[in-house]
Amino acid sequence: MESLTAVHPVTLDCEALSVREINRVLRALPDGSEVRLVAPRGRHNLAVGIEHPLSITIDGNAGYFIGGLGGSRTGGPSITVDGFVGWSVGENLMGGTIRIRGSASQSAGASACGGTIVVEGDASLRAGISLKGGTVAVAGDAGAMSGFMAQAGTILIGGNAGAGLGDSLYEAVIYVAGRIDSLGADARVEELTEDDVDAVKSLVAQTGFDHIAPGDVTRVGSARQLYHFRSEHHGAY
């Protein structure tokens, strides 16, 4: 499909169009277009693979993999979901922003390499799993094993964190405003520096999570003991 020329607001009806048709239209729209997807009714794979700057609003609850494989190193779409989302919102995100006005199911931001995923409610298990450079910000609580094998990037949790936080963490950093149930293997609490406070201040300004006091968060990083196999540590693998 050739690129469309109109940049005025576009409305796409998820009941009248297939997911493939919706994503085909989104990819064809020119930079700067505003789009509203109505009646999503939990549809999966909406706004997947959108690399260019669009403003997309999904008007209701959506399903799995919303906004996945989107953006690029230089930017990407701005996606807002006025509702809840299923598994793996923003999976493999490269750039742009995804904002969830409700809560997110498991694996929010899985393997994201760039961009920002904002969850205004709670996030379920494994938020930020295998994060590779993006940012995952959760206003409320995050479930067990959040930050599992996170390699780079930042996770901000405005509420409490479940068990096994940061298990097998590499170079990503996790900030938690509330209580931590338990840390995973090779994760540790580290001293909060002025640079950390500045980073959290910036995230609070970006996300609007003004219930977070940047100077009162807990920083979780890697103890760097699992980078290489050592026989005496075999029980931790």
Asked, for residue 8, whether it belongs to a domain, the answer is no
Asked, for residue 23, whether it belongs to a domain, the answer is no
pLDDT of 8 strictly over 90: no
CA 155/CA 116 separation, integer angstroms: 10
107-157 pLDDT per residue, tens: 999 999 999 999 999 999 999 999 999 999 999 999 999 999 999 999 999
Residue 49 burial class via C-beta count within 10 angstroms: exposed 0-12, middle 13-18, buried 19 and up: middle
CB atoms inside a 10 Å sphere around CB 235: 6
Give the pLDDT band (50/70/90) at residue 2: very low
Asked, for residue 235, whether it belongs to a domain, the answer is no
- Tell me phi and psi for residue 210, to 5 degrees: -75, 0
Asked, for residue 158, whether it belongs to a domain, the answer is yes
Asked, for residue 48, whether it belongs to a domain, the answer is no
143-195 pLDDT per residue, tens: 999 999 999 999 999 999 999 999 999 999 999 999 999 999 999 999 999 99
Could you give the number of structural domains in the chain? Answer: 1
> Collapsing DSSP states into helix, strand and coil, what is residue 97?
strand
pTM to 2 decimals? Answer: 0.93
31-48 pLDDT per residue, tens: 999 999 999 999 999 999
Domain extent at residue 154:
122-224
Provide the pLDDT for residue 229. Answer: 62
Asked, for residue 185, whether it belongs to a domain, the answer is yes
48-82 pLDDT per residue, tens: 999 999 999 999 999 999 999 999 988 999 999 99
CATH code, domain carrying 128: 2.160.20.60
Long-range contacts of 58-61 (CB under 8 A, 24+ apart): 58/82, 58/83, 59/83, 61/85, 61/102
Asked, for residue 64, whether it belongs to a domain, the answer is no
Provide the pLDDT for residue 58. Answer: 98
Asked, for residue 115, whether it belongs to a domain, the answer is no
Give the pLDDT band (50/70/90) at residue 235: low
Q: Please name the residues in contact with 12: beta carbons below 8 A apart, sequence gap of 6 or more.
A: 22, 25, 26, 35, 36, 37, 38
Give the pLDDT band (50/70/90) at residue 23: very high
Alpha helices in the chain (DSSP H): 19-28, 194-207
